[in-house]
């Protein structure tokens, strides 16, 4: 079972924007090979750091409203939200070290 729950256009505000902790949103699609490569890394990070940062997945194809609202043009993209605002955006496949470096302020 996945450590990383899915969010949708309809649950995004409650699960991400209203979260009391920082949230990393993994914006992906089933056909995206780099997305599949980063999935195990996100799963590991969620298991290790889920008490400090909330990790969720957003299927770009199924949630066009949210993807459009936040100007996502390339996947995988990873948006970090804090206090209901995007505070960081990573585009493209990342390594575990890159994620840890980028999330350092929140871990």
Catalytic residue list:
32, 35
Beta-sheet pairing, 85-91 with 54-59: unpaired
Question: How far apart, in whole angstroms, are the C-alpha atoms of residue 56 and residue 46?
Answer: 9
Handedness of CA 106, 83, 99, 38 (dihedral sign): positive
Helix (H) / strand (E) element for 5: namely none
Which two structure tokens, joined as six digits, stand for 52? 């400090």
């Amino acid at each position: 079972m996945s450590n990383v729950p899915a969010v949708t256009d309809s649950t995004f505000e409650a699960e991400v924007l209203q979260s009391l902790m920082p949230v990393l949103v993994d914006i992906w699609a089933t056909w995206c090979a780099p997305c599949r490569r980063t999935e195990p890394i996100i799963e590991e990070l969620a298991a290790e750091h889920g008490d400090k940062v909330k990790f969720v997945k957003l299927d770009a194809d199924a949630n066009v409203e949210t993807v459009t609202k936040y100007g996502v043009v390339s996947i995988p993209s990873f948006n970090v939200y804090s206090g209901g605002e995007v505070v960081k955006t990573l585009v493209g496949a990342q390594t575990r070290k890159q994620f840890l470096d980028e999330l350092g302020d929140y871990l």
